[in-house]
Amino acid sequence: MMNQGSKEKYAKVTAVSISLKVGVKKHNVKHAQLRKGYGIIGDAHAGSDHRQVSLLAQESIEKIRSKGLDVGPGDFAENITTSGINLTNLKIGTKIKINKDVVLEVSQIGKVCHTRCNIYYQAGDCIMPREGIFTKVLKGGIIRVGDKITVY
């Protein structure tokens, strides 16, 4: 929707990424199927625990790029890269709706890394512990790059 003379800005999915193994960069896909209580079908992090799907803001990736690192969506092993939303300001229990179907619930903000992970060595830094969030899938469906994100 457009307002007269200005573009309406909204939060959206800028990338969807999966991998078959944990601890490695993820590759970008155009869409993914999320299953309730499980995560993204075909992703190594899917399962029944509370960290089924990870999110990281494109703005966080841009901060690292401004330091000279050649990184992009999926390089920090996040499943969903977002834009237009401050993920670290969300609280545990916050609901995130993607498109008209998928509902995620924030289950963890950041994470503890006791040692430098493979991502740190591959990318030169790892921002997931500081700026990434983890979610559970409350309602599944298909997500695509460009999908609108609503927080409630």
Place of tokens 């803001």: 57
CB 147 within 8 A of CB 12: yes
How far apart are the C-alpha atoms of 93 and 108, rounded to whole Å?
A: 9
What is 10-151's CATH topology?
M1 Pyruvate Kinase; Domain 3 (2.40.33)
The pTM is what?
Answer: 0.87
Side-chain half-sphere CA neighbours of 9 within 13 A: 3
Closest CA to 50 of 12, 4, 122, 107: 107
According to the model, what pLDDT value does residue 57 have?
Answer: 97
Where do the domains of the chain lie? 10-151
Q: Which of the pair, 149 or 131, is modelled with greater confidence? A: 149
According to the model, what pLDDT value does residue 123 have?
Answer: 59
